[in-house]
Amino acid sequence: MDPRAVRSRARALAAARDLLVEQGWAGVTHVAVAERSGVGRTTLYRHWPDTPALVRATLAHHIAVAHTEPTGDLRGDLLRELAASRAMLHEPTTDRAIRVVVERAAVDATYAEMKDALYRAGTRVLRGIVDTGKERGELPPRLDTDLAVDQLVGPLFFRRLLAGEHIPDGYVPEVVDAFLRAHKKKERAHR
C-alpha cells in the first residue's frame, strides 16, 4: 500500500477516535473526520461508505493495537492479554463505543454485525492462547474455547460495563489464577 494512503488512513482513524471520545457516536461523521484529519471526504467515503463502517474500522484498529503478542507462557500470556482488555475498558473510546454498539445491536442489523465482528477481533488473541494451552496439555483438551473466553473476559466486562466499577490492579491476576486452578482441578479429576 502507498505510504501516503497508510498515513491518511491512520490520520482519519485517529480523528474518528478523538471525535468518538469528545462528542460520542453522533460526532463521528465523514465531514467532521475530514475537517479534523485533513483527509478528503471522497477518500473517506471510498474506504468507509457509511458512519458505522468508519466507527467499526476505528474500533477494530484500536483493538488490534491493544492486543499482546503471546510468548508461550500460559499464565503470563493470559495476564498480559487480559491486562490489555482491562486497559481498553477504562478508555473512554472503548467504554462508550461498546455501550453504543451493544445497545444498537439489539435493534439494528448493521450494529449487530459490527458487535459480532468486534467480539471476534477482540477475543482472537485470547482464543489463540487458550487453544495453544490445550495443545500443549496445560489446559484440558476438552475445554470449550468459547467457555474459556467467557470465564476470562466476562468478569472484566461485567464489572466495568454492567456494574460500572473500576477494575483494580489485582483483579486480572485473581481472574486468571481462579481460571487456571479450576481447569487444572478438572483435568486431574478426569485422569
All domains in the chain, ordered by first residue: 1-50 (1.10.10.60), 67-190 (1.10.357.10)
Residue 139 has pLDDT above 90, yes or no: yes
Per-residue model confidence (pLDDT) at position 188 = 55
Got the DSSP string for the chain? --HHHHHHHHHHHHHHHHHHHHH-GGG--HHHHHHHH---HHHHHHH-SSHHHHHHHHHHHHHHHH-----S-HHHHHHHHHHHHHHHHTSHHHHHHHHHHHHHHTT-HHHHHHHHHHHHHHHHHHHHHHHHHHHTTSS-TT--HHHHHHHHHHHHHIIIIIS-----TTHHHHHHHHHHHHHHHHHHHH-
Per-residue model confidence (pLDDT) at position 56 = 83
Q: Quick one: average pLDDT of 152-169?
A: 94
Residue 95 has pLDDT above 90, yes or no: no
Residue 24 pLDDT class (50, 70, 90 cuts): confident
Other CB atoms within 10 Å distance of the CB of residue 115: 19
Per-residue model confidence (pLDDT) at position 100 = 81
Q: Quick one: average pLDDT of 126-144?
A: 96
Residue 171 pLDDT class (50, 70, 90 cuts): very high
Calculate the average pLDDT of the chain: 90
Residue 142 has pLDDT above 90, yes or no: yes
pTM attached to this predicted model: 0.81
Residue 187 has pLDDT above 60, yes or no: no
